[in-house]
Amino acid sequence: MTRLSVNVNKLATLRNARGGNNPDVVAWARAIERYGAQGITVHPRPDERHIRRSDVRALSKAITTEFNIEGYPSEDFIALVLEVRPAQVTLVPDPPGVLTSNAGWDAREHKMFLKEVLARFKREGIRTSVFMGTDPEQLSHAADTGTDRVELYTEPYAANYHKDRASAVAPFANAAEKARQLGLGLNAGHDLDLHNLAFFNANVPGLQEVSIGHALVCDALMYGMENTVGLYLRELR
């Protein structure tokens, strides 16, 4: 079964909007694990507008499932990841001020940079993943970096799902086959939700993990967190 990693950034955004520690991100992450999620994801940004570095350190000591830290590999980010040594690090090409991740890496242009950064993580036993689009040539360049996995950026799928879901998922199915040929593990994330997740999971072979935050937290406002985690897990069976 594809594993569910819940991104808790949105809980931190809610906490930071008021100050204090409500909701308690660490307590909620542990609850989400109890509800069945197989991992917790965070994306710390330089301005700490949601997840803070102190959250990353606290979560690394508290959670018992896989911890995935994603972000742009600045020296500060690299140092934080090497300090807490999560199960997985996912590199995204976001410049510091961007609102949310909105594209995969150009692995051809940034191949040497990625190769050098990924090697630093791999020496510490941290599984590596690179945020990518579905272009087969770019996936080949990603494989050259030495990454263990790629995470497919799924916003194009979500944007076109209700228009023509077969056409929307086709590039991702093809990318999955290319990743298999290249020996790359496969993750996916961004704009997956209760409407489109099951079809994606059924039609993208070899999918190992999805990282979902915004949609899941929004659904939790309606259905409750425990029930919502269960609903997402059901879509992945």
Mark whether 70 is an active-site residue. Answer: yes
Dist CA 172 CA 225 (whole Å): 29
Q: Which tokens in the block code for residue 86?
A: 């999560």
Report how far apart the first and last C-alpha atoms of the chain are (Å, whole number): 6
Of residues 33, 50, 66, 70, which has the active-site annotation?
Answer: 70
How would you label 4-43 residue by residue, b for 16+ Cβ within 10 Å and e otherwise? bbbbbbbbbeebeeeeeeebebbebbbebbebebbbbbbb
H-only helix segments in the chain: 9-18, 25-34, 53-62, 75-84, 111-123, 136-144, 155-160, 165-182, 197-203, 214-223, 225-235
Retrieve residue 120's tokens.
Answer: 């630093």
109 noted as active-site residue: no
Place of tokens 């191949």: 111
Q: Which of 141, 151, 190, 235 is catalytic?
A: 190
Q: Catalytic residue at 33? A: no
Question: What is the sign of the dihedral through the CA atoms of 154, 157, 161 and 163?
Answer: positive
State the Cα–Cα distance between residues 237 and 235, nearest whole angstrom.
Answer: 6
Catalytic residue among 43, 50, 110, 141: 43
Single out the residue of 200, 186, 205, 204 nearest to residue 232, CA to CA: 200
Could you list the active site residues?
43, 70, 190
